[in-house]
């Protein structure tokens, strides 16, 4: 084991690297001397973290934490959820598959005695869902004669512009108008903003799921005559971001709700923010909140959100099968591993990193730091210090060489609020912890890889074609709360181990083989090549 060298991978979540973007770039305004010094070193470059480089349908598609960590942990590129759903729709396999037959080709739906419910995130952000997938389901439902559909629409404002919900509402209403007919009762039934209802993850805020359950399933919440009216009402109350809109119902849905014998499709393809609502509607033993009524439904997800736990049992499109991950290869060789983040990103350095497997491997330690239950802009430091503390403790007490990975969530979670000042503070705090890690790395002869999974904090304002901020009526820059298309940093740090960059045009998929190279193991032939070599 003496030939091996310990490696720590630090993921600066949501930290893209676009120094030429001078407007709305939190990194240019933040005090980040450690990261700036690292990026000025000879062992630094940038990596692609969006589009086809991470398995998305096109290069106009943003990267995200799910696919980013999948690709880092897998060492190569797999077709991800958005692309897999597109392919299943284009080939027709989604509608010829057994799950669609089971959930949609039911006499009760054709007669109209039962209802098909479809829920999910209404946008074209292509991170958790895409509106075109919903439209395809609706059109096929009419084609096979389903009489009654109720839609449960979650508003985005996070993977798309903060106040863009009316655009998506109008598009959906247009699709519904094209499908309407005397025998077809297709309506929007309920909704809410994605950061207020339904789309919690990792058990951070079960009341969020409860609010969604009450609206979508029980029909409880403030009622509005239309989706457009609901959105405009919340705007009039001062809500500045669609993701923050609270739960609501449309029309007389409060008299309906989900009933025994109905079908329900959740059309989000990404799993982390779909699992909890799926559990709420499908699990008999459910301790997280009082459901009051649990209808007996035939439920399906767009994809299976957790393959280990089989959540859900029914799904329309098979997720990518990711084997021979970096973690599994290290585990097979008996190498000590460590993974740590706070709750908001814990599943990314565990479940997604390990190829969508929810159980730790042999000699693999997972440490979760509970996230604060407060708005991220109010505590932009989040839990970076606690993550650092746990990591330093592991590094200084490890008895043998290790491969570790951690995630600092600040750049992404605070970046999503659109609050530039808070994001600057978040980066300041993160950089301080990064410096602490480097100091301990020198003492423990640990090589540190610093990277990110996608951009976000580097692009906090909507910009015009000239790179200048787009202003609102008050001449204030319009916030950008979504991820960016920026490349991400890649740095190797170990003054005692001379290395050089040998590839400056890589992607996140090159990190696994780079880790093995530094640690002292050969990479599988099917991994993307290492970015560095020893000299």
Q: CA-CA distance, 461 to 419, in Å (whole number)?
A: 10
Residue 455 CA to residue 275 CA, distance in Å, equals 25
Considering only CA atoms, which of 7, 138, 63 is closest in space to residue 493?
A: 7
DSSP summary character for residue 455: B
| DSSP bridge partners of 119 | 152, 266
- 3 state DSSP class of 306: strand
Eight-state DSSP code of residue 295:
-
Q: Residue 218 and residue 195: Cα distance in Å, rounded?
A: 20
Whether the CB-CB separation of 411 and 426 falls below 8 Å is answered with yes
What is the rounded distance in angstroms from the CA atom of residue 214 to the CA atom of residue 225? 18
Which residues are CB-neighbours of 374 under 8 A, at least 6 positions away? none
Report H helices in 370-477: 384-397, 410-413, 420-444
Residue 79 known to be catalytic: no
Q: Which among 42, 44, 58, 65 is annotated as catalytic?
A: 65
CA geometry: angle 276, 277, 279, nearest 5 deg: 65
Greatest alpha-carbon pair distance for the chain in Å reads 76
Rg, the chain, Cα only = 23
Say if residues 358 and 306 touch (Cβ distance below 8 Å): yes
> Annotated catalytic sites, by residue?
65
């Amino acid at each position: 084991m003496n030939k091996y060298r310990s490696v720590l991978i630090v993921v600066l979540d949501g930290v893209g690297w676009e120094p030429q973007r001078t407007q709305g770039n939190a990194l240019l305004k933040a005090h980040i001397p450690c990261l700036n010094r690292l990026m000025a070193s000879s062992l630094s470059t940038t990596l692609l973290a969006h589009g086809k480089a991470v398995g998305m349908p096109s290069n106009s598609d943003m990267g995200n934490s799910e696919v980013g960590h999948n690709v880092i942990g897998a060492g190569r590129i797999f077709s991800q959820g958005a692309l897999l759903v597109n392919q299943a729709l284009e080939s027709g396999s989604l509608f010829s598959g057994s799950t669609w037959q089971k959930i949609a080709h039911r006499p009760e739906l054709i007669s109209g005695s039962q209802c098909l419910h479809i829920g999910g995130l209404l946008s074209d952000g292509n991170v958790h869902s895409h509106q075109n997938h919903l439209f395809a389901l609706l059109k096929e439902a009419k084609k096979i004669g389903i009489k009654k559909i109720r839609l449960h629409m979650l508003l985005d404002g996070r993977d798309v512009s903060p106040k863009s919900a009316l655009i998506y509402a109008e598009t959906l209403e247009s699709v519904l108008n094209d499908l309407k007919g005397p025998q077809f009762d297709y309506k929007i039934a309920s909704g809410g903003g994605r950061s207020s209802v339904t789309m919690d993850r990792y058990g951070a805020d079960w009341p969020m799921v409860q609010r969604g359950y009450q609206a979508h399933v029980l029909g409880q919440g403030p009622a509005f005559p239309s989706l457009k009216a609901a959105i405009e009402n919340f705007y009039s109350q001062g809500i500045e971001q669609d993701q923050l809109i609270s739960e609501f119902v449309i029309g007389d849905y409060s008299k309906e709700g989900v009933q025994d014998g109905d079908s329900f499709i959740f059309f989000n393809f990404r799993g982390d923010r779909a699992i909890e609502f799926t559990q709420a509607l499908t699990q008999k033993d459910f301790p997280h909140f009082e459901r009051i009524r649990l209808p007996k439904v035939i439920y399906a997800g767009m994809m299976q959100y957790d393959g280990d736990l089989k959540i859900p049992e029914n799904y329309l499109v098979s997720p990518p099968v990711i084997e021979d991950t970096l973690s599994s290869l290290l585990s097979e060789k008996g190498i000590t591993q460590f993974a740590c983040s706070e709750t908001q990103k814990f599943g990314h350095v565990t479940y997604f990193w390990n190829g969508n497997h929810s159980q730790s491997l042999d000699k693999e330690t997972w440490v979760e730091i509970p996230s604060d239950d407060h708005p991220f802009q109010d505590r932009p430091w989040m839990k970076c210090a606690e993550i650092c503390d746990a990591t330093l403790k592991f590094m200084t007490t490890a008895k043998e060489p290790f491969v570790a990975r951690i995630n600092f969530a600040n750049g992404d979670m605070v970046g999503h609020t659109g609050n530039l000042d808070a994001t600057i503070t978040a980066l300041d705090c993160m950089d301080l912890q990064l410096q602490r890690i480097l100091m301990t790395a020198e003492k423990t002869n640990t090589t540190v890889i610093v990277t990110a999974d996608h951009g976000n904090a580097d692009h906090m304002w909507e910009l015009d074609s000239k790179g200048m901020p787009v202003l609102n009526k008050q001449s204030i820059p319009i916030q950008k709360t979504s991820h960016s298309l920026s490349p991400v940093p890649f740095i190797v740090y170990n003054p005692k181990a001379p290395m050089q960059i040998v590839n400056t045009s890589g992607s996140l998929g090159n990190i696994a083989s780079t880790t093995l190279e530094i640690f002292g193991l050969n990479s599988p032939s099917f991994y993307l090549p290492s970015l560095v070599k020893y000299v």
